[in-house]
Amino acid sequence: MRFRAKIVDLACLNHFSRVINTIAKLAKTCALRLTVSKLYFILSDKVANGGVSMWCELCQGNFFDEFQMEGVAAEHNEIYLELVPENLSRALKTAQNAKAVKIKLTNKHCPCLRVAVELPSLSSSSRMVTHDIPVGVIPRRLWNDFREPSVPDFDVSIYLPVLKTMKSVLERMKNLSNSIVIEANSSGEMNLKIETDLVSVTTHFKDLGNPPWASEDGCQSSAQSRDLESMAEARIDIKKLLQLLAGQQVNPTKALCNIVSKRIVHFILLHEDVSLQYFIPALA
C-alpha cells in the first residue's frame, strides 16, 4: 500500500485546504478513500453521527501535480483510511505560501499521513515543516460500509436559496428550537418552519427553481406526476443543517436538496471540481 502526492500550485493548495476545512466542520472523523483518479471523504450513517452521512468526491487531477497510489491489492487498487480531518486542516492552514506540499502515507510508529510543507525562507535552503497525522487503515472487509449512497427516491427536488441567507435565517432559528421543518414543492417554493409552545416562525422562499432530473427509470415519474403545489416536508435537526452551511467557505456552483417526505433530506452541493452530498435523516 503506497500513496504519494504533491501540490505545487498555490491556487490548488488553497482550494484543497478549503475543501478540507469544510470536511473538518462536518465530521470529527471520517474515511478517506483513495483511488487512482479520485479522493473521497466519506462519513457513513452510524448512530453515533446521528444518522447523518456524507459523501465528498474530488478529482485528484484538479488539485495534485503528482499523485501515485498503490492499493491493498491489484484487483482492489484502492486505499481506505480513517482520519481526523481537523488534523489535515491544521497541517494545511500554515502552508498558505508554501513552495510545495507533499503528502505521503508512512508507517513509522503507526500509519500516518505525512504532510511535508516546504516554505520559503530567508536563507538558501527552505524551511521544512512536517506534520505526521495518524490514520487508521480500514481493512477490506469493512469497505462495504463506505459505498456511494444512491440518490433516494425523493418527493421533491429543489434548488436551495442563497446559502448565506439561509444560514443567517437558521442562525436565528436555532436559538428558538432544536428542530426545523423543511418543506418544498415542485413549483420552486420552500419554507423553513420552526414551532415551539410560544412561537412559530416560517421563512418563505420563492422562485427557487427545481432541478430537472432525467427520469432513468419508473421511480422518478412519481415525482413528476405529483401535484406541483403539494409540499414534501421533513423535520430535521437544525444544528446539523447549520453545520453543513457553516462549513461552506465558497459559494457552490449548484446547491440543491432532495426531500423524501418524513424520511430524509439529501443535500447536494456542487463546486467546479468537488461534489458534496450530505444526508440528514428526519427526526421521529
Partner 1 sequence: CILHCFLSLLVFGRAIHAIARISDEFSFDPIEKGLALRSVNSSRSAYAYVFFSSMFFQHYCWTAVSQPCQKEKQLSLPCKLIIKSVLPVFRCVNVLERNVEKCSIYTNINDHHVTFQLLCKYGVVKTYNLTCQECDPLQAVFAKHMCPNILKVHSRLLADIMIHFPTSQEEVTLSVTPMKVCFKSYTEEDTDFSKTMLTEIQLNPDEFDYFQVGVDSEVTFCLKELRGLLAFSEATSVPVSIHFDISGKPIAFSIEDMVLEASFILATLSDVEKETASQQPPDFSQRQERKPPWDGSAPNSKPAKPVSLLAKQEIKSIPRVMMREVTGMEGTAMTEAEGHAMLGGEAREHCKDFKVAKASEIINLQILHHVVSYFYKHCIFQFHSLFFGAVSCKEQDAISHTFHSLATASDTEEDFGNMQSSQV
Does 124 sit near partner 1 (CB under 8 A)? yes
CA distance 14 to 256: 25
Q: Give, as one character, the DSSP assignment of residue 48.
A: G
Does 133 sit near partner 1 (CB under 8 A)? yes
Query: Minimum distance between the CB of residue 39 and partner 1, rounded to whole angstroms?
Result: 20
Does 37 sit near partner 1 (CB under 8 A)? no
Which of these ranges, 44-52, 125-133, 149-157, 237-245, lies near partner 1 under the rule CB under 8 A? 125-133
Does 120 sit near partner 1 (CB under 8 A)? no
CA distance 65 to 8: 6
**Beta-bridge partners for 88:** none
Which of these ranges, 16-24, 119-127, 227-235, 267-275, lies near partner 1 under the rule CB under 8 A? 119-127
Quickly count helices (H) and strands (E) in the chain.
5, 18
Buried b (16+ CB within 10 A) or exposed e, 141-161: eeeeebeeeeeeebbbbbbbb
Name the 3-class secondary structure at 78.
coil
Which of these ranges, 9-17, 43-51, 128-136, 171-179, lies near partner 1 under the rule CB under 8 A? 128-136
Q: What track of x and - describes contact with partner 1 for positions 94 through 113 (by CB under 8 A)?
A: x-------------xxx-x-
CA distance 140 to 33: 12
- Which residue lies nearer to partner 1 by CB, 112 or 181? 112
Q: Which three cell numbers stand for residue 166?
A: 439561509
Does 200 sit near partner 1 (CB under 8 A)? no
CB contact at 8 A, 220 and 199:
no
- Which residue lies nearer to partner 1 by CB, 128 or 219? 128
Query: Minimum distance between the CB of residue 137 and partner 1, rounded to whole angstroms?
Result: 11
Q: Which three cell numbers stand for residue 5?
A: 502526492
User: Which listed residue (74, 123, 218, 284) binds partner 1 by CB under 8 A?
Assistant: 123
User: Which listed residue (10, 129, 137, 201) binds partner 1 by CB under 8 A?
Assistant: 129
Which of these ranges, 30-38, 127-135, 168-176, 263-271, lies near partner 1 under the rule CB under 8 A? 127-135
**Beta-bridge partners for 4:** 68, 104
CA distance 151 to 275: 14
Q: Given the rule CB under 8 A, which residues bind partner 1?
A: 84, 87, 90-91, 94, 108-110, 112, 121-125, 127-134, 136
